[in-house]
């Protein structure tokens, strides 16, 4: 399976974000002929206030971001793991941070809402209180693509290894992680955590990221970028440079099988009380 990761610098202009996403995807499709494309976290709208997020969230199915990704999947006959989008939730004043996956016919085949909320104070003193604007999900999700089982996670989920073990228990051979890692945490933790999760789970790890600056109210914040594909041995086999763009890599199920045979951690796992 050939995979493409899209790296973006989304902001608080939804139409501009969608145009940028479509342009990058069309270019990648023309040049790389992928089977599967992954977008970054909140590719449709990033930054703004809680009210801005709600105003730009959409019903699913329906809505401009959902419809655009659905149409692109159908037009090009490609699987699209639509990063994450802001989802309107009936009866809730917060929005969902939700991945939708479309098959080659443009049919929705899975959806996942981010479980772990980024409620921290960064080293520079900036406070991130994601749960104030976004409602966490509670479901573990995998889906099938070309005979390969892909597990779903989003950004801050990366720091919680139990989620990834649960995905492997459900057969995951690939983990998809749309993200918008902060610059400060990303430069120290991004690659280390991705490689650790790939080694622990013996899966391919496909992490598609936001890069560059965006406005959060009156603050200018920065994301780390460095979208990357890591193989089941923990080797970085593709990594994006700075700025918007894309990277591609081949996903080989036999590689997963061989690594798991060399070090059979699943068979050695002990239940600890």
Q: What are the catalytic residues?
A: 41, 114, 155
CA distance 17 to 234: 32
Closest alpha carbon to 208 in 4, 2, 1: 4
| Class of residue 248 by CB neighbours under 10 A (exposed 0-12, middle 13-18, buried 19+) | middle
Closest alpha carbon to 152 in 199, 115, 191: 115
- Using CA atoms, how far residue 227 sits from 32, 215, 249, in Å, is 17, 21, 12
* Collapsed DSSP state (helix, strand, coil) of residue 175: strand
Kindly compute the dihedral angle of the four CA atoms of residues 224, 228, 232, 234, in this order, to the nearest 10 degrees.
-50
Tell me how far the alpha carbon of residue 255 is from its chain's centroid. 22
- Using CA atoms, how far residue 175 sits from 94, 133, 228, 251, in Å, is 27, 26, 12, 11
CA distance 157 to 178: 10
Supply 140's token pair.
């573990």
């Amino acid at each position: 399976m050939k995979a493409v990761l899209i790296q973006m610098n989304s902001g608080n202009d939804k139409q501009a974000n969608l145009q940028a996403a479509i342009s990058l995807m069309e270019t990648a499709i023309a040049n790389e002929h992928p089977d599967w494309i992954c977008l970054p976290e909140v590719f449709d709208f990033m930054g703004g206030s809680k009210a801005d997020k709600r105003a730009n969230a959409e019903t699913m199915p329906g809505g401009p971001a959902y419809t655009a990704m659905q149409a692109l999947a159908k037009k090009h006959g490609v699987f699209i793991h639509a990063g994450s989008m802001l989802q309107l939730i009936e009866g809730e004043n917060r929005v969902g941070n939700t991945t939708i996956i479309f098959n080659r016919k443009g049919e929705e085949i899975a959806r996942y809402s981010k479980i772990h909320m980024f409620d921290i104070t960064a080293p520079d003193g900036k406070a991130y209180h994601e749960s104030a604007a976004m409602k966490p999900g509670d479901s573990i999700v995998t889906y099938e693509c070309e005979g390969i089982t892909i597990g779903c996670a989003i950004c801050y989920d990366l720091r919680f290894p139990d989620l990834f073990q649960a995905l492997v228990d459900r057969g995951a051979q690939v983990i998809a992680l749309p993200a918008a890692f902060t610059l400060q945490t990303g430069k120290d933790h991004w690659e280390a955590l991705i490689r650790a999760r790939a080694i622990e789970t013996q899966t391919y790890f496909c992490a598609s990221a936001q890069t560059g600056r965006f406005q959060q109210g009156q603050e200018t914040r920065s994301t780390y970028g460095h979208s990357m594909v890591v193989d089941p041995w923990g080797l970085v086999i593709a990594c994006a440079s700075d700025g918007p763009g894309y990277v591609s890599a081949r996903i080989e199920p036999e590689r997963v099988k061989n690594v798991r045979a060399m070090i059979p951690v699943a068979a050695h796992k002990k239940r600890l009380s």
